[in-house]
Amino acid sequence: MAEYTKSAEAIARLTPEEFHVTQQSGTEAPFENAFWDQDEPGLYVDIVSGEPLFTSIDKFDSSCGWPSFAKPVEPAHVEERFDGSFGARRTEVRSTHGDSHLGHVFDDGPKELGGLRYCINSASLRFIPLDEMESEGYGEYLKLFEKEKE
């Protein structure tokens, strides 16, 4: 099993927007981010630690302008915390090992997918296309996509 950690080197590689989102709990603009409308098969990992977070299998179009997922691929890699900022009562989601702010989870997702909507900032994610997962060290997740082909 790979070791996923937050390092000074990883933080130094972040763009200003990636730093703002992941390290300062910022939010990127809706409909103006890399993955809100992407439908290519693959794995989404924490941009800081590399820990696997979501797959394209669980991604759905919520029309909110950010990538939305029904569930994490590894629940232990996603922590939920109360967020009372800006007078709202929301549940923030952060990566466990990278401690990156990812976005928020809401209970208005598709009922047939479990009813949750993980609304995630693209700036907190790195996308690993299906055909690169093995070479990038995420081969153990390929089996999930085999089930989709059946």
Q: What is the pLDDT of residues 90-120, one digit of tens each?
A: 789 999 999 999 999 999 999 999 999 999 9
Question: Residue 139 pLDDT more than 90?
Answer: yes
62: domain range?
8-149
CA distance 52 to 3: 11
CA distance 136 to 142: 12
pLDDT at position 11 is 95
Q: Locate all alpha helices (DSSP H) within 2-137, ordered by sequence.
A: 8-12, 16-24
For residue 109, being part of any structural domain is answered with yes
Question: Residue 150 pLDDT more than 80?
Answer: no
Per residue in 25-67, pLDDT (tens digit) is: 999 999 999 999 999 999 999 999 999 999 999 999 999 999 9
- List the structure tokens of 90: 């929301």
What's the predicted TM-score (pTM) here?
0.93
CATH, residue 119: 2.170.150.20
CA distance 5 to 66: 25
Contact 91, 42 (CB under 8 A): no
The residue ranges of DSSP E strands in the chain, in sequence order, are 42-46, 52-55, 59-60, 68-69, 78-83, 90-95, 101-106, 117-120, 125-129
Annotated catalytic residues are 119
Instruction: Report the Cα 146 to chain-centroid distance in Å.
Output: 21
pLDDT at position 81 is 83
For residue 3, being part of any structural domain is answered with no
Q: How many domains does the chain have?
A: 1
pLDDT at position 90 is 76
For residue 40, being part of any structural domain is answered with yes
pLDDT at position 91 is 86
Residue with structure tokens 């299906």? Answer: 130
For residue 74, being part of any structural domain is answered with yes
For residue 94, being part of any structural domain is answered with yes
For residue 2, being part of any structural domain is answered with no
**CA neighbor of 106 nearest in space, from 61, 142, 146, 70:** 70
